[in-house]
Chain A
Amino acid sequence: MDGRFDSGGGVITLSGMPRLLDQTLQRLDVGVDEREARLQLRRQIARLEAELGGLFAEAFGHTEVPHRIDSLATAPRVLDLGELEVVRDRLADRVAEARSALVERKRVEEENRELVERMLAAPQNFKWVQVSRQDLGLPGCGHWHSRPRLGPIGMLMGWWRVKVSSGCPLAGRLAAVEHEVPARQAEDAETREAGFCT
């Protein structure tokens, strides 16, 4: 909100609040304990930072949440009331954005979960549709893929099914590939030594 209406109907912007407060309090002859206000803002910053950290960790790997806040100073210093308010407000914005990003992500995951259920119930209605575990917010590899039995024959006959992939590639296969290259190089070297052209 950019501003609020006072009782007289005029708009008072929030940025003008400290000045207004000063004027009012001067009239009332009341001192302002800014230090207490700063301490309060620092407590709020601590709470928001904890909340943002939790949301960041929860969202990591599922969706990106905005968590960056530009620094207000190039060197460490005691921030004044206004600057602390800026930090607090930006943190609150990030927390709100992170929360809505997570809610949106959960909604998409829930929709995908329902899609998988519908696919399993009637694969022929979802030809070639593929949903990964990541789309459902689940860890690991793998996907649900609606495809025809027996390839073209199944396509012609309308024999559709959902195939669940077997998960992540095995580490053993990757290791085998790594071993294959040096073995092939060694073989080539032996061939060269023997005087054959490859």
Chain B
Amino acid sequence: MPAGAASERMGWVPPPRQGWVAPHIASEFPGLGIAWVEVEARPGRSSQAVRGRLRDLSDRTYGSQAIRLRERPIPWAYRVFFRQIGLDPDRTRTPVEQLTLDRLHDGGFRSHGLPADALNVAIVETGVALRAFDAEALEGGLCIRDTAPGESLPGGAAEMAGGTLAIADEARPIGLLFGPTGEGLGVEKATRRIAIAAVQVKGVPQIAVEEALWMAASTLEAA
């Protein structure tokens, strides 16, 4: 692709698609939602620009911010949701808290290649929880629902307990909500199309979700 065409494509991202939440789950958790975008991108090494952005982010992230993180509205909203679904956010960290802790531990945001770096930049900037899936392995749209007895994640040895909250496509659960992804559904070497999903909880504004998706997708598009 000529350089001009590449720069024209930068910043262009398809509008996010809104997934659905099982009605009985939505009635328990008003504000819970899932949205995603799909982008043509391959996993690989991050460009100089993305690595530079991670360095800039590292310079802007301090220990004092990590302490105050749980007081900021979006990270707080995820902590609250974790409590409400039985998880301890100090053990199973929310995505933005985990990244901030890693930053303090490693002395900077380490590059893990794409799409991880694109997601990490968007998560740190916005606080919104993002996941990446292999779009070609998905069947239909995404949703959040509870699992039926006997269901399990693809490649998972054990059955999931009934009522486990999961991200699913139209055929099966593809990953635990804020947990591991099913085998063959995550981004792998052969992936050519990536679905970036944002899990929204009560207290996270729609505009933050859209910004996070746009940021991650445009970083991938530009790579």
Contacts and interface: CB of A to CB of B under 8 A. Distances in A.
Whether A and B are associated in the same complex: the answer reads: yes
Interface of A: 35, 38-39, 42, 45-46, 49-50, 53-54, 56-57, 60, 67-73, 75-79, 83-84, 87, 91
B148 interface: no
B146 A78 contact: yes
Given A71-B87, A76-B178, A38 B28 contact: yes
Contact of A71 (B80, B86, B163, B164): B86
Given A57-B71, A75-B164, A70 B88 contact: yes
A49 B82 CA distance: 11
Contact of B164 (A35, A38, A68, A77): A77
B46 to A, nearest CB: 30
A69 B88 contact: yes
7 contacts: A46-B80, A68-B90, A71-B91, A76-B164, A76-B176, A78-B146, A83-B86
A35 B27 contact: yes
A102 to B, nearest CB: 15
A12 B43 CA distance: 61
B21 to A, nearest CB: 12
A77 B161 contact: yes
Contacts of B176: 75-76
B222 interface: no
B105 interface: no
A76 B88 contact: no
Contact of B70 (A39, A46, A57): A57
Residue of B83, B88, B176 most packed against chain A (CB within 10 A): B83
B165 A77 contact: yes
Contacts of A68: 88, 90
The 8 closest A-B pairs by CB, nearest first: A73-B86, A71-B88, A53-B70, A76-B85, A76-B165, A72-B86, A46-B80, A75-B164
A78 B28 contact: yes
Contacts, number: 87
Contacts of A45: 80, 83-84
Contacts of B146: 77-78
Contacts of A60: 67
A171 B178 CA distance: 42
A73 B87 contact: yes
Contacts of B25: 78
Contacts of A57: 67-68, 70-71
A53 B79 contact: yes
Given A73-B86, A76-B86, 10 more contacts: A35-B27, A45-B84, A46-B203, A53-B70, A56-B70, A73-B87, A75-B176, A76-B165, A79-B86, A91-B83
B76 interface: yes
Interface string B146-179: 1000000000000011011100000000001111
A83 to B, nearest CB: 7
A97 to B, nearest CB: 15
B92 interface: yes
A73 B176 CA distance: 13
Contacts of B92: 71
Contact of A79 (B85, B88, B161): B85
B163 A78 contact: yes
Contacts of B85: 73, 76-79
B95 to A, nearest CB: 14
Interface string B170-191: 0000001111000000000000
A87 B84 CA distance: 8
Interface string B24-49: 01011110000000000000000000
Nearest to B160: A75
Nearest to A86: B86
